[in-house]
Structure 1
Amino acid sequence: MRQLRLLILGGTSEASALARALAGDARVAPLLSLAGRTKAPVTPPVPFRVGGFGGPAGLAAYLEAERFDLMIDATHPFADRIKRNAVEAAGLAGVPLLAIRRPEWRPQPGDRWTIVPDMAAAAAALGNDPKRVFLTIGQKELAPFREAPVHTYVIRSVDPPDPGHLPPNAVVIIARGPFDEPSERALLDGHRIDVIVTKNSGGTATEAKLAAARALRIPVVMVARPAHPDAETVDTAEQALAWLEARVRQA
């Protein structure tokens, strides 16, 4: 049986789960690729690299030069550029690609969601009356909220945001999920939050804030996912491992 070389495009809990499952599996030689947006990522138990590839052509060249047999896209649901690059590069290099597409959150009874297409629309949806806003959108997309300075913001991020991107009247909380509902309710209560702005990332790591908002009757401005390119997809890391197992047996 030939050892298969696997490139995992990571940065998510699914990518971490794949890395843990494949560590020590002699049938597969995985390499986890991280974009480098998080300053102190959790060190994976498999070989990894940090940084980009130089677009789809660069990724295709890397796949060919390093003789990868397979690629799994386990990037964040909002990492639309690398998703497009992965599909194009897989076609150029002739490398089979599987994309893990985490299911979206769906509104539940009692939810008060306003769904918007992007961050500019999210900032506009806050309106003109001053509110206390909980932003859980990461550190890279804060600039539109500088155009809505009437509000007070509580911003949670894994890494400290660039001070130049912060809206006025902002408090920053540095924290990494997963979070539970009691702690999320305490945060929302403690900061007297009027509205939450978040991205429809799906998954369980940060879902507790939605349950807390539902219980407290706090409205949520939900930024919809970008459209994803066509690819063979699964919902979970476990399903991706089953896909990989089938290809290992064929090797």
Structure 2
Amino acid sequence: MDFYSFFNSSTSWRVRIALALKGLDTDFHGVNIRTGQHHDADYVREVNPSATVPAIVDNGFHLGQSLAIIDWLDGKHPEPRLIPKEPALRARVLEFSYLIACDIHPVNNLRILKYLQDEIKVSPKQKDEWYAHWIGEGMAAVERLLAQAAETYGGPWCFGTQPTLADCCLIPQFGNAQRMGCDMTPHQRTRAVVEHAAGHPAFVKAEPKKQPDYTPPPPASSNKDKIKA
């Protein structure tokens, strides 16, 4: 299986967690979205028509979009299962995952922040305020869902005693919010899940700094790395 990823991409990070949890090895291909490699004609034509990361290619089967990839992995490699089969739990895990993947992440991803910066000409301060606003609003909703889940399922993960798709989505979103300088101290339930995940080998393996294409952040005086992937 070929896996196309960028180390700081939270969507790639989700899939890296899923692969690690399932113990799956891949042939890694770094795609530098900061330099626009995801728009290269060969990549779009031969790997991912959406011109995004992540993507997988397995025996001629091409797939992009992190949630679709994880669902496909569940079907082909069902242990451990990340999207539960039990209808109510499945619905709750998807509700939580979609909150991150559909409501929080899209308004703060690379192309949105670049458009704000390059086309609308917002200041760095305004861009950071944009990011922090949507993180604050979204994470408040995450906290409410985690509180609801704790009453029903308990456990150290988002939904009980085993990691699910919800945790695959939450950990990267939290990590990128921290990288962008957001104050995450109010989000105590989220922090508890993150701290628990920090001790799990699969989540450690999936961290950006563990990836073959990892590059250290630029000096603090530079704003270049303040664009979220």
**Normalization by structure 1: what TM-score?**
0.28
Please say which structure displays the higher CA radius of gyration. Answer: 1
Which fold has the larger relative contact order, with Cα–Cα distance below 8 Å and residues 6 or more apart in sequence?
A: 2
Between structures 1 and 2, the one with greater strand share: 1
**Normalization by structure 2: what TM-score?**
0.30
